[in-house]
Structure 1
Amino acid sequence: MPDRIPVLTKRTLDKDLDKFTHVEDAAKFVSRKLVGPGLGLIFLGLAMLFAGVYVFERPSAVLIIAATALAAYMAMNIGANDVTNNVGAAVGARAITMTQALVIAAIFEVLGATIAGGEVVRTISSSIVDAVHVPGGLLAWIMMAALMAAALWINLATWLNAPVSTTHAIVGAVIGAGIAAVGPEPVNWRVMLEITSSWVTSPLIGGAIAGSLLFFIKSFIIYQDDKIAAARRWVPVLIAMMAGGFTAYMVLQLAPSGRFSSPTILALGLLAGLVAWLAAKPIVARQSRDLENRNSSLRILFKFPLIGSAALLSFAHGANDVSNAVGPLSAIVRSSTALATGTAPPLWVMLIGAFGISVGLLLFGPRLIRLVGDQITKLNPMRAYCVALSTAFTVIVASWLGLPVSTTHIAVGSVFGVGFFREWYTRNSKRRVKFMRSKAETWAIDEPEDPNVHERRRRYLVRRSHFMTIVAAWIITVPASAALAAMVYLVMFALFV
């Protein structure tokens, strides 16, 4: 009997230790979910300290620091919800890993926001609500309410895995808070009409460009007898298009106004495209050695241009959508520090927006990347390149014009454009039929009509359910953010003003 006591004690001790081990595992699992929010709170604190260095001695320092925290929170939500459109196609095509996509997007988002984001920031900060018609002191509270409402709405959408437009959210929030403060008179409805029209046209333009690029690739590369030789000829041309467009955009953004004429800018873009073409030719030729004459081999050759287009899209997104976070903050800083209307926003304001977007992307971005990359239509590197390049060009032109378009609209519109074009091309392309007949002696060109409507819908290359869900999310964002901003403003006014 005494010999059994130590054995029983040991078994009891082992069971107790196992219980502690399970508790530790559960604690680690729960705490892992808190790492992201914890790091986000640390970033908000650092952003407030960073703003305090520049405005601490001014009378409105507390208001500006509080607005900075809201702008940083808004920027992180943009990174979590909106930046996923930049790299979703590349990840969905398995051209780059999730980690590579996050690093590329974070770097180029910062560059785009700090180098070329000033023009659209001025649109958000001063063109939607006319500060001249707003009583002194109210503009800052309007922008504060807009920031809080838009950030909360985007945060909720991200939690629900819904890719909404952050541009819709902030523009609707500025309008809602402005109307709640002083009525509809200060709202610049002409500018709003321009912005709204760009929301409608930009996804159509993005989809048309993406479909046209895919038509070009199918006609001149995929459905050629020697695919590899065709790719050696045309992939450097596509890279040159990307480099030329990006160079022209950089000249427009960075050069003083009126420094270069349109023909000069066009010439610089063509020169950059020529240099990129000359550099890409030997690289593509070296990559194409010993590749089989198959579509799968083309994925290797399109990997490099796809990565480049994703980087370009991230730069363009940073230039355009940083305004959604720091545009209201810039208006608050301007009204509180007597900066002239139309002047460039301070660099520290742009840095907070740029790094906030990157922090949100790195901490919370992977949640929505696969929706755009995997679940709308099947993407390979060629299709993903068309999506990324068309989205980048559309956003670049919009940023040049100072229009805060929705990259969500353009990117998703480009994905749908590729998918719908594939459906049309599969059914109607004579070139595809001729090519397939040349490769197979027996091939069913005219399939009998399937009487089962549901079966025909199942065979569609684009998932209609995602199309309707995304469009519904786009429609509800503006009124929801406007109503929420109006309520937030009324609460702020009652408590602090």
Structure 2
Amino acid sequence: MAKSALDKDLKKVVRIEHATHDLSRSLATPGLLIIFMIGSIALASMSIAGGPLSYFVIAAAVIAAYMALSIGANDVANNMGPAVGGRALSMPAALAIAGLCEAAGAIIAGGDVVKTISRDLLRPDVGIDGVQFVLVMMAALLAAAIWVHLATFLNAPVSTTHAVVGGVVGAGIAAAGFKIVVWPVIGAVVASWVISPIMGGLIAAALLAFINWAILERDDRVAAARRWMPVMMALMISVFAMYLMTKGLKHVWDAPLAAVLGGGALAFAIGYVTSRPWVQRRSVGMENRRKNVTGLFTLPLIWSAGLLSFAHGANDVANAVGPLAAIVATAEAGASDASSVELPFWVLLIGAVGIVVGLALFGPKLIRTVGEKITKMDAIRAFCVALSAAITVLVASALGLPVSSTHIAVGGVFGVGYLREFLTNKGVPNVAVQPNARFLEPSSLNDTPEQALENYQKRERRKLVRRQHVLGIGAAWVVTVPAAALLAAALYTLMRTVAG
């Protein structure tokens, strides 16, 4: 009797502890958000000199902080999703690595694309005054943040760059009409909707097909891995070295083409020499099974995911703070000329911290979507997606083609998924369903109706890419620019009315 009463009391204590833990977690999220927003306001208040536009800067800092949170919740999933889906990283480890690399990339090599936002999208000769320019940037930033937030809620990875572009264009048109927009740039953005996922998917599929042919389909997979794994790792190191020189470190060092190619060749040689003994050691006594060979790709995948996050932080932080920097320059100098725009450190800090906080609080949802819900991943497939992302950006940059890192990464996931589906279904007979029939007509005269039904059921089970995600994500991509533009135009009109 006493023991039963004690057990009941202990269960009550455990339930109270669980309830307290859940309550503390539910309160932690809004608490962190409030602290971050207050910190952003404090930074803006201390850093901006007094003036008639200083209040706009404080408001813009809050909006930029919101945008940084949205980027962390949505965009970073493209780098870490495949690694988590491939079981190379647990969710906490992925969040820690992504947060560290994103912050390092943003603070150390934060790319200054403020001039691109102001100069390439809007015509400088179409005159708008300082207040109008500030409201355009604020409306664009807020519209982009709201759209990315909505996409995250709907589990759709979208391009934050496209959202910002759409926001600037929509607010600009609301302020000065269609003549203010540089339309060839918008045409290039639209082209990237098609170019980015196709290039990413084809390259990822080609890498996976090569690994299948060179390693996984060999009788002695271990010997094949010893031969080709150092080459794949050297290629990864070379590609990411060139990727960082051309993209991630662009703000720190504008490397010439010869330096990029030379650095890539040197990185390949170093990567091959250092990775070959590592592969030899790891493969000693390894069983000749796909699962064991796949484990060799885990460490390269982790490194590639971290490097992608570093480069992402260096470049895409400007999507959050670029318009804020333009507003700060206008408030301080009274000019909206892009040539006068700089990127203050406090502005960069808001973007870096916001991305990390948004990733930690809201990132896991999209990470699971990209890494687990589109198609089944493992370390090899995830490695192909990560490497294809870097290769695609390099090739597109060399050819002058506009691409989106989000579209590339998700396109890579689709690419490896559809290749797996093609290889798995290869040789499976087609089966036609007859209307109002109790069985399926066989596609071959040698098949009985029962065999045809079995083949049809197997064929249905072998759809390895979830079609609903293809349609949903594709639709989100297409509507991002026009949706952000319409929302920004409405917000600009509202802000202009309130500001008088």
Same fold (TM over 0.5): yes
* Pairing 1:151-190 to 2, within 5 Å after superposition: 151-190=145-184
**1:26 CA displacement:** 5.4
8 Å contact from structure 2 (residues 195, 403) kept in 1: no
Aligned to 1:32: 25
For residues 421 and 17 of structure 2, the distance between their equivalents in structure 1, rounded to whole angstroms, comes to 52
Q: 1:378 aligns with which of 367, 376, 379?
A: 376
Cα-to-partner distance string for 1:109-166 (whole Å, 9 max, x where unaligned): 1232334442544323432123441411211101101111221222222233333332
1:465-476 → structure 2 map (5 Å cutoff): 465-476=468-479
- CA distance, structure 1, for counterparts of residue 262 and residue 495 of structure 2: 53
CA-to-aligned-CA distance 1:195-243 (integer Å, 9 cap, x gap) = 2212320111111110111011111111112211211222222221222
Residue type of the alignment partner of 1:341 = A
Q: Note closer, same or farther for the CA distance 1:134–1:450 as it changes in structure 2 (3 Å cut).
A: farther
Indicate yes or no: 2:338 matched with 1:341. yes
What is the aligned partner in structure 1 of residue 120 from structure 2?
127
Counterpart Cα distance in 2 of 1:257 and 1:98: 31
Matched residues, number: 468
Secondary structure of the equivalent of 1:185?
helix
Distance 1:112 1:150, change over 3 A: same
Partner letter of residue 188 of structure 2? E
Partner deviation per Cα, 1:343-368 (whole Å, 9 max, x = no partner): 55233322321221111101111112
| Structure 1 gaps, min length 5 | 1-10, 430-445
Residue 156 of structure 2: SS of its match in structure 1?
A: coil
Please give the alpha-carbon distance, in whole angstroms, between the structure 2 residues aligned to 1:250 and 1:457.
43
CA distance, structure 2, for counterparts of residue 403 and residue 61 of structure 1? 39
- Alpha-carbon shift at residue 103 of structure 1 (Å): 1.0
**Structure 1 pair 28/382, CA: closer, same or farther in 2 (3 Å)?**
closer
Q: Which amino acid aligns with 2:328?
A: V
Work out the CA distance in 1 between the residues paired with 2:402 and 2:328. Answer: 20
Counterpart of 1:51 (choices 44, 64, 79) is 44
1:173 is displaced (CA, Å) by: 1.5
For the Cα contact (< 8 Å) 1:125–1:330, is it kept in 2? no
Post-superposition CA distance 1:373-431 (Å, at most 9, x none): 111111110001001111233346667899874332111100001111122233559xx
Opposite residue 52 of structure 1, the aligned amino acid is S
- Give me the whole-angstrom Cα distance separating, in 2, the residues matched to 1:268 and 1:280: 18
In the alignment, structure 1 residue 70 sits paired with structure 2 residue 63: yes
> Structure 2 vs 1, CA of residues 61 and 454 (structure 1 numbering), >3 Å: closer, same or farther?
farther
**TM-score computed with the length of structure 1 as normaliser:** 0.85
1:276 aligned partner, one-letter code: G
Equivalent residue, structure 1, for 2:498 = 495
Segment drifting more, 103-112 vs 291-300: 103-112
Contact 2:393 2:403 in 1 (8 A): yes
Q: Is the Cα contact below 8 Å between 2:385 and 2:413 reproduced in 1?
A: yes
Q: Which runs of 5+ in 2 are unaligned?
A: 428-445
The amino acid across from 1:251 in the alignment is M
CA contact (8 A) 1:450 1:456 kept: no
Alignment of 1:205-224 (within 5 A): 205-224=199-218
Q: Deviations over 1:80-111 (max 9, x none)?
A: 11211111101011111111101111111123
Q: Is residue 2:104 matched to residue 1:111?
A: yes
Residues 442-453 of structure 1 aligned to structure 2 (within 5 Å): none
Specify the alignment match of 2:318 in structure 1. Answer: 323
**Residues 263, 450 of structure 1: alpha-carbon distance in 2 compared, 3 angstrom cutoff:** farther
Could you list the per-position Cα deviations for residues 173-208 of structure 1 after superposition, in whole angstroms to 9, with x for gaps in the alignment? 211111111111111111111222123201111111
User: Against the structure 1 CA distance between its residues 468 and 309, is the aligned structure 2 distance closer, same or farther, given a 3 Å change threshold?
Assistant: same
Corresponding residue number in structure 1 for 2:357: 359
Whichever residue aligns with residue 476 of structure 2, its letter is A
Q: Distance in 1 between matches of 2:313 and 2:253?
A: 24
CA distance in 1, matches of 2:254, 2:208: 36
- The 3 A distance-change label for structure 1 pair 265 and 44 is same
Assess if the C-alpha contact under 8 Å between 2:112 and 2:251 holds in 1: no
Structure 2 contact 49–332 (Cα < 8 Å) conserved: no
CA RMSD of the aligned region, Å? 3.1
Partner of 1:463: 466
TM-score (norm 2): 0.85
Aligned-residue sequence identity (percent) comes to 51
